[in-house]
């Protein structure tokens, strides 16, 4: 399959090619937690690089529930012009721009000072890093109804502000993923137990979003191919959930894997096994594609053109890239004339898997910050330096967030 062939989605809209910029968490919101000029500049760079689909980093559906400081929040039309500018920059060269919408559940840093909610009272298990996350409170029926309404509202606003679609984040150990996993979902009511109950929140959100937005607006879902945790969400579970999504008007499913506790999305499982160097989740995707009636996208370590061809020739419709496009936002355009380009970050030698995962994310964010300032990337940056800069930036943004949330509460 030619990576530059177009793809018609189930809703009739067109992706100009099959190369996607997958979501990365940028933490580049402005002081109102709306898109900053730096964030818009970053997306303009990806648009100019000729990706056919651009998926944003986390946009939070609730200002009280953040994956990290500096995240974009979309709850109302108050800063609509900034969101319109963001979507216009990403669409400028013909790509579709989808807003990834998310709620962290228990994966919210304790330093942000907000109450943490989750399906059940199951604390994070990150060894020495566990205290960076507060133990969650089990969600009530009212909490669940509120979260569903927030996802639908954010999707409606995304359409209003010029985005081509949304991606509902149900992977990587965030809230919807927590409902899907029997490790983090120990409920005995209609939201827990058998898989049909654990998937209920995701299915309800998808159904209600699809009913609210226009037919030409894409609705996609990101799910784990597996949690890579013993007793967690399995590959067979992912296959069954995909079948449940078939009749709901989903335009694309992106397959990834892992969570903060088992960062498989960075190539590592919890027990230290290293996943395949590129296209980590392709084997899972081929199995899941056998039941999917919508296109499948695979993300995870892809950085070389021959791997993209392998992915697409396997029956997967879209190849998603994150780190590779953080290093070289022009990679799709470059591949039109030179298929040998293969951007790669400097290797991290650290043995602690959690620390190595945090360092990896810091190295990626270091590249994103440089691109947002119009500078060349530095894939050889020291992971220790990138992590120190990231920690300093997070400290500043955490203080800014806490002041902002107090002002929001005072004006309510």
H/E run at residue 227: none
Residue 1 placed within a domain? no
Q: Is 371 exposed, middle or buried (0-12, 13-18, 19+ CB in 10 A)?
A: buried
What is the bridge-based pairing of β-strands 296-299 and 252-256? Answer: parallel
Residue 161 placed within a domain? yes
H/E run at residue 8: strand 7-8
Residue 134 contacts residue 91 (beta carbons within 8 Å): no
Residue 311 placed within a domain? yes
Rounded distance between C-alpha atoms, residue 83 and residue 289, angstroms = 34
Question: The domain containing residue 345 runs over which residues?
Answer: 7-411
Residue 2 placed within a domain? no
pLDDT in tens, the chain (412 residues): 899 999 999 999 999 999 999 999 999 999 999 999 999 999 999 999 999 999 999 999 999 999 999 999 999 999 999 999 999 999 999 999 999 999 999 999 999 999 999 999 999 988 887 899 999 999 999 999 999 999 999 999 999 999 999 999 999 999 999 999 999 999 999 999 999 999 999 999 999 999 999 999 999 999 988 776 777 888 899 999 999 999 999 999 999 877 676 655 545 444 344 344 566 678 888 888 889 999 999 988 899 999 999 999 999 999 999 999 999 999 999 999 999 999 999 999 998 878 888 899 999 999 999 999 999 999 999 999 999 999 999 999 999 999 999 998 888 7
CATH number of the domain enclosing 297: 3.20.20.70
H/E run at residue 167: strand 165-170
Residue 55 placed within a domain? yes
pTM of the predicted protein model = 0.94
Residue 353 placed within a domain? yes
Domain count along the chain: 1
Residue 404 placed within a domain? yes
- Closest to 164 in 3D by CA, of 3, 278, 16: 16
Within a 13 Å sphere around the CA of 91, how many CA atoms are in the beta-carbon half? 16
What is the bridge-based pairing of β-strands 296-299 and 117-118? Answer: unpaired
CB atoms within 10 A of CB 196: 12
Report which DSSP code applies to 129.
G
Residue 299 placed within a domain? yes
Give the sign of the dihedral formed by CA 356, CA 386, CA 364, CA 38. positive
């Amino acid at each position: 399959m030619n990576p530059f062939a177009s793809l018609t989605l189930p809703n009739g809209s067109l992706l100009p090619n099959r190369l996607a910029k997958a979501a990365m968490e940028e933490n580049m919101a402005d002081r109102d937690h709306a898109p900053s000029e730096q964030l818009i500049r970053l997306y303009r760079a990806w648009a100019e690089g000729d990706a056919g689909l651009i998926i944003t980093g986390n946009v939070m559906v609730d200002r009280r529930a953040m994956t990290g400081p500096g995240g974009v929040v979309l709850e109302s039309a108050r800063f609509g012009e900034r969101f319109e500018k963001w979507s216009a920059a990403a669409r400028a060269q013909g790509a579709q721009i989808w807003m990834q919408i998310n709620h962290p559940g228990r994966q919210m840093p304790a330093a942000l000072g907000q109450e943490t909610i989750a399906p059940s009272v199951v604390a994070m298990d990150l060894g020495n890093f566990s205290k960076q996350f507060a133990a969650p409170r089990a969600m009530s029926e009212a909490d669940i109804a509120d979260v569903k309404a927030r996802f639908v509202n954010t999707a409606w606003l995304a359409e209003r502000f010029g985005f081509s679609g949304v991606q509902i984040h149900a992977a990587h150990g965030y809230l919807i993923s927590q409902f899907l996993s029997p490790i983090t979902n120990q409920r005995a009511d209609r939201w827990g137990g058998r898989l049909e109950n654990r998937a209920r929140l995701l299915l309800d959100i998808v159904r209600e979003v699809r009913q609210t937005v226009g037919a030409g607006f894409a609705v996609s879902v990101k799910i784990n191919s597996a949690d890579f945790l013993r007793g967690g969400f399995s590959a067979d579970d992912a296959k069954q959930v995909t079948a449940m999504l078939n009749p709901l008007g989903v335009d694309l499913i992106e397959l990834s894997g892992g969570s903060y506790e088992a960062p498989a999305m960075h190539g590592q499982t919890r027990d230290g096994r290293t996943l395949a160097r590129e296209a980590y989740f392709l084997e899972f995707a081929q199995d899941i594609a056998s039941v999917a009636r919508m296109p499948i996208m695979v993300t995870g370590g892809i950085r070389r053109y021959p791997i993209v061809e392998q992915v697409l020739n396997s029956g997967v419709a879209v190849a998603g890239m994150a780190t590779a496009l953080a290093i070289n936002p022009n990679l799709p355009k470059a591949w039109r004339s030179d298929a040998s380009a293969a951007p790669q970050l400097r290797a991290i030698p650290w043995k602690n898997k959690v620390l190595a995962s945090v360092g990896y994310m810091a190295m990626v964010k270091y590249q994103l910050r440089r691109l947002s300032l119009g500078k060349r990337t530095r894939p050889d940056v020291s992971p220790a330096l990138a992590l120190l800069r990231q920690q300093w930036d997070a400290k500043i943004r955490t203080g800014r967030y806490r002041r902002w949330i107090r002002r929001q509460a005072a004006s309510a």
